[in-house]
Amino acid sequence: MSRIGILTCSNVTQDLGCSSINCLADFKKRGGEFEVYSNDEDLTLVGIINCPGCPTLTGPDKLIKRIRALTEFQVDAIHFTYCIKVLCPFKEKYKSALEQTFPDIKIVVGTHKSALTPEAFREKIKGLFNQEQKTMVDVILKKA
Ligand code: SF4
């Protein structure tokens, strides 16, 4: 039996509204990076938490505190989502910091598989972030 936690990217969950639906689908089907777990093995999803946001000056310290939401509950492995794998410039630093801090927990980079190439996926996400979006500024200036 393996107990799994999932770390998601805040940019994707908070700003772009991803509910981790593809990660959960492959978790259930043992697809993507979950293929390593055999179908006979019980797989428990302990929890999902988003990263604390891009780290600026704090480095991985904020993440190490935040990931306690998973590490305190006997996880065997923490999977970084596909979005982190393809989009996050800090993933290697995060992985090393977590491996050093929690040597008994396996850190896996990836969750679901994708029909898109990483490059195509990145372009799509970039397109979403670059959409024109009205804000409160537009309301205040009576442009919305
Ligand atoms: S640090 Fe990485 S995972 Fe977290 S919000 Fe930034 S890009 Fe996403």
Mean pLDDT by 10 residues, the chain (144 residues): 97 95 97 95 96 89 96 98 97 97 98 97 96 93 93
- What's the predicted TM-score (pTM) here? 0.94
Do the beta carbons of residue 2 and residue 77 sit within 8 Å?
Answer: yes
Ligand 1 atom at minimal distance to the Cα of residue 10: 5
The confidence score (pLDDT) of residue 53 equals 92
- What's 106's domain CATH number? 3.40.50
**Rounded-to-integer distance, Cα 49 and Cα 25, Å:** 17
The confidence score (pLDDT) of residue 56 equals 84
The confidence score (pLDDT) of residue 82 equals 98
The confidence score (pLDDT) of residue 6 equals 98
Q: Which residues line ligand 1 (CB under 6 A)?
A: 9-11, 51, 53-55, 84, 87-88, 90
Testing ligand 1's pocket by substitution, the residue of 14, 50, 54, 126 carrying the most ligand atoms inside 8 A of its CB is: 54
The confidence score (pLDDT) of residue 144 equals 87
Q: Whose CA is nearest to atom 2 of ligand 1?
A: 88
Q: Which residues lie across from 45 on neighbouring strands? A: 4
Number of domains within the chain: 1
Domain that holds residue 95: 2-140
The confidence score (pLDDT) of residue 93 equals 95
Q: Which of 102, 100, 121, 126 is nearest to 110 (CA)?
A: 121
The confidence score (pLDDT) of residue 89 equals 95
Q: Whose CA is nearest to atom 6 of ligand 1?
A: 54
